[in-house]
């Protein structure tokens, strides 16, 4: 099997795995906590020696760094920005040609815009592939957090912490009636960690 054929096979396996995980989560309510239990027993149980808030912070840090690595090495952000700038300039030229009534030039510019749009869409598709690898890795991490913050798991007796201005947070409860509280804490941790990782790796700078 050639290198390209092997690469295509791996990408297809990862794609089907990612789709399979998402479908299983939506179709079977027991799958997500079961996946979290498997992740805990297989590799993540050492994190439960940390307080629950630090364990969630560790997951946020891992996912933030992983996402930054994927953006840096799997996505050509400079190329995408360059094409977007070309599209902006092309749109201005089309506007000028339309105002001048130059139909010949307008037709040529419209053709260029169509080709550039196809290039942009192709680049977006190519850049989407690294996100599949991230998805396959991060879903078990999210399932693990869901599992350990559930009092029924017995991992943490009282998965709570006291935060300034927010008071006591129960990670097994739901914030604002809909969002699991652990996701709120995850986002609070993830944003600054991701920014630091992106700046350190010079992603998007």
What's the pLDDT score for residue 37?
92
Whole-structure pTM value:
0.68
Q: How far apart are CA 45 and CA 191, in angstroms?
A: 25
pLDDT tens digit sequence for 59-82: 888 888 888 777 776 666 666 677
pLDDT tens digit sequence for 171-203: 777 666 677 778 888 888 888 888 888 888 776
What's the pLDDT score for residue 99?
82
- Higher pLDDT: 41 or 170? It is 41
DSSP for 156-194, please give it: -SS-EEEETTTEEEETTSEETTTEEHHHHHHHHHHHHHH
What's the pLDDT score for residue 38?
92
Round the average pLDDT of the chain to a whole number and report it: 79
CB 140 within 8 A of CB 35: yes
Is the pLDDT score of 205 beyond 60? no
Q: How far apart are CA 181 and CA 185, in angstroms?
A: 7
The number of beta carbons lying within 10 Å of the beta carbon of residue 172 is: 20
CB 161 within 8 A of CB 168: yes
Nearest residue to 106 via CA among 118, 90, 119? 90
């Amino acid at each position: 099997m050639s290198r390209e054929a092997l690469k295509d096979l791996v990408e297809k396996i990862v794609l089907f795995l990612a789709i399979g995980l998402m479908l299983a989560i939506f179709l079977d309510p027991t799958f997500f906590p079961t996946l979290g239990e498997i992740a805990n027993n297989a590799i993540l149980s050492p994190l439960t020696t940390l307080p629950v808030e630090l364990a969630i912070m560790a997951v946020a840090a891992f996912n933030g760094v992983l996402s930054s690595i994927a953006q840096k090495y799997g996505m050509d952000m400079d190329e995408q920005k360059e094409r977007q700038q070309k599209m902006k300039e092309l749109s201005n030229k089309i506007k000028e040609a339309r105002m001048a009534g130059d139909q010949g030039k307008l037709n040529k510019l419209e053709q260029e815009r169509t080709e550039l749009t196809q290039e942009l869409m192709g680049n977006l598709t190519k850049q989407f592939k690294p996100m599949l690898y991230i998805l396959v890795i991060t879903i078990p991490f999210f399932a693990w957090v869901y599992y350990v913050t559930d009092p029924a798991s017995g991992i943490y007796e009282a998965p709570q912490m006291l935060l300034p201005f927010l008071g006591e947070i129960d990670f097994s409860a739901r914030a604002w009636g809909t969002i699991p509280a652990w996701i709120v804490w995850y986002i609070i941790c993830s944003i600054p960690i991701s920014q630091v990782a992106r700046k350190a790796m010079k992603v998007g700078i």
